[in-house]
Amino acid sequence: MRFRTFGYICFGLVFTVATASAVPVRYPSCAKPDASFKAFLQHFTNDTVFQRSRLSLPLVVRAGDGVTVSSTVELWDLKHIKELKDPLIYSDVQRQKANISLSVDLVHESPAVAEVWQAEKSEGDAVKLQYWFHKRDGCWFLAEFDDWSE
């Protein structure tokens, strides 16, 4: 499992560098820097209005099985995100109802990058969602979203 996570981290960081040069990314300004990633994530997962104010647009979205290198890559604008039938990220209540776990890892300090996983607590892991957050000017933003669900 550690090897797979390391592969995702390497792929995510390499892909970020590759796409950053090709696609102009916009980080909105935020009025108040975040006290901590933990406090930010709590607010981000439970408040849709706040969540949409902390998206790096276009949002880089990848989908695949998480094992092979074949995956789709899309760039989502805010209109697309607002039209999603499923939540972009599960809230505390939604995670509890769906038996989905949450894990957080600060993978890089400068520039600050955090990785968040939401995965179903079962053997099949039907839900596997990976989120990449970047810190800019004291504020955290969701920059990439990977859906490795089966």
User: For residues 100 and 118, is the Cβ–Cβ distance under 8 A?
Assistant: yes
Question: Helix, strand, or coil here: 104?
Answer: strand
- Asked if the model's pLDDT at residue 16 lies above 50, the reply is no
- How do residues 59-108 score in pLDDT, each as one tens digit? 999 998 766 666 899 999 999 999 999 999 999 999 999 999 999 999 98
Please give the model's pTM, rounded to 2 decimal places.
Answer: 0.80
Domain that holds residue 9: 2-147
pLDDT band at 13 (very low <50, low <70, confident <90, very high): very low
Question: Helix, strand, or coil here: 94?
Answer: helix
Residue 30's CATH number: 3.10.450
- How far apart are the two ends of the chain, measured CA to CA in Å? 16
When divided into structural domains, the chain yields a total of: 1
